[in-house]
Structure 1
């Protein structure tokens, strides 16, 4: 099956499939190696890892597309890509969708925040007029070549206009052509439960460690009817904490001895990047072999 077909089928199951975020190809390889069914190219993660900057709309379309290309080359999983606001208006959205589809996306998430956008769990968000976002959703749906490429329309209106209005916006995005909707940052289990109950298409839940949305667990989210559950930056947060601990010990002690148990072995590192496969290629194409 094509990756777009696989993602569409996964969405249809409504089984709250866990989808971790990958900010780079290495994280994506770990996600695939552990048996997850899809990966999410996190906009916040790309901003944090690639730019060393917060998620405040600083990344460009080409920077994200380059990351998607690298990840698609490294893994065979369906890839959902965070396209933020589409990097412009409805016309820019056309180019963004076409670029990300060529890069290997199976699903593209777009949102209704004012540009420059902010992390969905930050204060100070604002949203564009409903009619403007409807046109961007239409442009995204029209731009795709593969009709099974999943257009995921996210609304951040819950924090700005309230949950009732956020659900109304999501309905309008479905009418405009979105395959999936994503009501960002509900603040209670009760709000979470409303989303799949009141919206007919597949739904995304986003669990941010330290963020605004409670985590009732995969089983409960499946009972509610969510299709996928994003843990967009779990790998990034784990790597950041471990980096501080290991490098802090190296700085203070001048050695890795006390933190050796926190490190992947040399062999584990090479296995994670499939060095044996590259060795086999080298042997196959060696001159005179």
Structure 2
């Protein structure tokens, strides 16, 4: 299998859907994407029912990485928040995510406790501390094929120039992919694209601060990866609101208007085909 690094090429956009639980992982993995993104917001909400506000621990998240990467045949890169502490924590986090099977880790320069991007109140640590985290992360990995995605959240509170200054420091510290979070106009995105030679990542959040554009427009702006962390769980949330609302109102599923997957096809996607084939192959051993 080609590494995620090998797939990064100028003029090509890798589209990474957000996965947040076993169902979303299995469905996305069978669709032929070149990479998947383990969204922190969605994973924390799905796994713990909590907001993405620094409440999930390293142990919570590395076990999700291990589960997702173990199921996936597609390279998975995963949200590592702030590295869950200081420099020693960053080293431990990078080694843990790599050992768990991730293809890349995303690290950000927020203060702890962090907050989800595109939400208010985010604060960043001093640039020297942030760059040191990226340097430690690059040194801690066993393989250069395990990529370091360096994210800065400085744009919202400190402006684009400070965000660009931080991204440059992250590039010098050894980052493989730069992630300037929450640019607010196409002009800002153009400036980001002109500023760096490293691969750039755009975070596409429907209803967020950054313009939602076409794949061709992202390529023209200089991006090589577009992550879509929220679209899956937003769709799921709307569907469940509709379905559960109908059940509450009518007491039955006959009036459900949301599209429903075919039960047997869905079961196959969840791995039941292998269960049935195993049981058939081993029926004699069970005396059937």
Query: What TM-score results when the alignment is normalised by the length of structure 2?
Result: 0.95
Runs of 4+ in 1 over 6 A off after TM superposition: none
Counterpart residue number, 2:183 = 186
Using a 3 Å threshold, how does the CA distance of structure 1 residues 286 and 136 change in structure 2: closer, same or farther? Answer: farther
Counterpart residue number, 2:132 = 135
Contact 2:152 2:167 in 1 (8 A): yes
Measure how far apart 1:285 and its partner are: 4.9
Contact 2:76 2:104 in 1 (8 A): yes
Using a 3 Å threshold, how does the CA distance of structure 1 residues 282 and 185 change in structure 2: closer, same or farther? Answer: same
Structure 2, unaligned runs of 5 or more: none
Contact 2:239 2:258 in 1 (8 A): no
> Are 2:252 and 1:255 aligned?
yes
Whole-angstrom CA distance in 1 between matches of 2:88 and 2:6: 29
Deviation per CA, 1:31-53, whole angstroms, max 9, x where unpaired? 12222211100111112111212
Greater mean alpha carbon deviation, residues 177-186 or residues 52-61: 52-61
Counterpart residue number, 2:214 = 217
Structure 1, unaligned runs of 5 or more: none
Measure how far apart 1:217 and its partner are: 1.2
Contact 2:3 2:145 in 1 (8 A): no
Using a 3 Å threshold, how does the CA distance of structure 1 residues 257 and 170 change in structure 2: closer, same or farther? Answer: same
Contact 1:193 1:224 in 2 (8 A): yes
Deviation per CA, 1:22-78, whole angstroms, max 9, x where unpaired? 011211111122222111001111121112121111111111111111111212100
Counterpart residue number, 1:161 = 158
Matching of residues 59-138 of structure 1 within 5 Å: 59-138=56-135
Using a 3 Å threshold, how does the CA distance of structure 1 residues 241 and 174 change in structure 2: closer, same or farther? Answer: same
